[in-house]
Amino acid sequence: MNNKKVVKIDMKQYGMFFALIAIYLVFALLTGGANLTPMNINNLIMQNGYVVILAIGMLLCVLTGNIDLGVGSVVAVTGSIAGIIMMDMKMNMWVAILAALAVGILTGVFAGFFIAYLGIPPFVTTLATMLMGRGLTYTLLQAQTKGPFAESYNFIGAGFLPSFKIPFGDGTLDVVSIVVAIVASVILVFSEFKSNATKKKYNFAVNPLWQTVLKLAIMLFIIWFFFYKLSRYKGLPFVLLIMVILIVVYGFITSKTVAGRQIYALGGNRKAANLSGIDTNKVFFWVYVNMGFLSSVAGIVLAARNGSATPKAGDGFEMDAIASCYIGGAAVAGGAGTIVGAVVGAFIMGILNNGMSLFGWSTDIQKIVKGAVLLGAVTFDVLSKRKKN
């Protein structure tokens, strides 16, 4: 008997990809293709790198049903620590990086301790770290910009991976980018078919073939579009490497590890999680320690991109990171959301910013639009869930 099980793809899961593409196309039309240039694609990645990094950490906080308001300030503190060590103490950049990471983790330990072990609401705790962090930054930098940093450090935020350029059309083509794109495509297609084969082996439901193919086609298109454009510019930015590593690592943690799934269980129902043997205080603690760590990574990248540490660095980043998670489909009450969603959410914000800048809208208008998009995305999410029930 052939009992092949078939299940349709949940379109909502991919809705944000469509939104991403749609917004991008709208701005392509509005700006007459200005946002399609290789340089702009490169900028898109470099400008949004730190928001993506923060959104990944923020997703874990959002999964617990909370947020971290302090990340923008921690970005500034860690950036200024790196700056002081390199510029004032004249020490090696690796010392600076390690010190920045350590300070970031410490801020996370600080917040996590208050939240997890003293039961102070995260909103209050991180509002405090936000104020304290910003004040600390101004004190450390004496309200001055510290820079310029050495090129070797700035590579982290503004550098490119080794490339091999060949003449192509009216410019050049980086072979390394193309090779990476090929490898990525093979891995993607292979893993999709492997997971389908496993599902069939255990007689689980699989998606209809045409839907799988369509899904793959769209994802391949996005990959090739990005990598082709990058190959026509200066190759692969170093920030992209950091982003990809973090996405893969955190994607794995949240979906395939006991610790990761405990965050979802905690967010879904804390009391039930406790009675299932999960030490929810510990989970809370590590989620905020991790947020501190990723904030410092973002701080290092931002300082490197700017080539300097400024007191106002990272101002308002927490809001972008939080908005990215919600736009990416994370539940406000916690317990639902994905790393990929948060990253796509961050890129939707980035494309909006970028497109509106190219179109010549002021940052004031940009904020109005971003606010409206956030509200719209969450409203859509809430209403569609209500309909299902």
Partner 1 sequence: MSDYILEMNHITKEFSGVKALDDVNLKVKKGEIHAICGENGAGKSTLMNVLSGVYPFGTYEGDILYKGEHCKFHNLRDSEAKGIVIIHQELALSPLLSVAENVFIGNEQTSRKGIIDWTATRRRAQEMLAKVGLEHEDVNVPINTLGVGKQQLIEIAKAMAKKVELLILDEPTAALNDEESKKLLDIMLQLKEHGITCIIISHKLNEIEYVSDSVTIIRDGKTIETLVKGVDDYSEDRVIKAMVGREMTNRYPVREGVEIGDVIFEVKNWNVFHPDDEHRQVLKDINIKVRAGEVVGLAGLMGAGRTELAMSLFGRSYGQKISGSVFINGKEVHLKTVKDAVKNKLAYISEDRKTYGLNLIGDIKENMTIAARPFFFSKNGVINANDEIIAAQEYKERINVKANSINQVVGSLSGGNQQKVVVAKWMLTQPDVLIMDEPTRGIDVGAKYEIYCVINELAKAGKAIIVISSEMPEIIGSCDRLYVINEGEIAGELNKDEFSQEKIMQLIMAHQRKGDGNE
Residues engaged in binding partner 1 (CB under 8 A): 7, 198, 202, 204-205, 256-259, 261-262, 264-265, 268-269, 271-279, 331, 335-336, 388-389
Which of residues 152 and 276 has its CB atom nearest to partner 1 in the complex? 276
CB of 272 to partner 1, least distance (A): 5
Contact at 8 Å (CB) between 147 and 308? yes
CB of 268 to partner 1, least distance (A): 3
Which of residues 29 and 275 has its CB atom nearest to partner 1 in the complex? 275
CB of 223 to partner 1, least distance (A): 25
Amino acid, res. 3: N
Contact at 8 Å (CB) between 163 and 174? yes
Contact at 8 Å (CB) between 156 and 301? yes
**For residues 176 and 184, what is the distance between their CA atoms, to the nearest angstrom?**
12
Nearest Cα neighbor of 122 from 373, 276, 354, 318 is 318
Contact at 8 Å (CB) between 352 and 367? no
Which of residues 233 and 285 has its CB atom nearest to partner 1 in the complex? 285
Amino acid, res. 106: L
CB of 254 to partner 1, least distance (A): 11
Which of residues 269 and 363 has its CB atom nearest to partner 1 in the complex? 269
Taking the CB of residue 83, how many other CB atoms lie within 10 A of it?
A: 25
Which of residues 148 and 208 has its CB atom nearest to partner 1 in the complex? 208
CB of 257 to partner 1, least distance (A): 5
Which of residues 33 and 121 has its CB atom nearest to partner 1 in the complex? 121
- From the CA atom positions of the chain, what is the Rg in Å? 22
Which of residues 143 and 383 has its CB atom nearest to partner 1 in the complex? 383
Show the DSSP H helices in 307-316 as ranges: none
Q: Which residue carries 């190959």 as its tokens?
A: 231
CB of 11 to partner 1, least distance (A): 16
**For residues 179 and 159, what is the distance between their CA atoms, to the nearest angstrom?**
19
Phi, psi of 267, deg, nearest 5: -65, -35
Taking the CB of residue 106, how many other CB atoms lie within 10 A of it?
A: 17
CB of 62 to partner 1, least distance (A): 14
CB of 333 to partner 1, least distance (A): 8
Which of residues 98 and 205 has its CB atom nearest to partner 1 in the complex? 205
Beta bridge partner(s), residue 160: 237
CB of 201 to partner 1, least distance (A): 9
Which of residues 143 and 333 has its CB atom nearest to partner 1 in the complex? 333
**Omega before 148 within 30 of 0, i.e. cis:** yes
For the CA atoms of 218, 224, 226, 230, the dihedral, rounded to the nearest 10 degrees, stands at: 180
Give me 209's structure tokens.
Answer: 């073939």
Long-range contacts of the stretch 22-31 (C-beta < 8 A, 24+): 23/348, 23/351, 23/352, 23/355, 24/351, 24/355, 26/355, 27/351, 27/354, 27/355, 27/356, 27/358, 27/359, 30/355, 30/359, 31/355, 31/358, 31/359
Which of residues 151 and 279 has its CB atom nearest to partner 1 in the complex? 279
CB of 341 to partner 1, least distance (A): 15
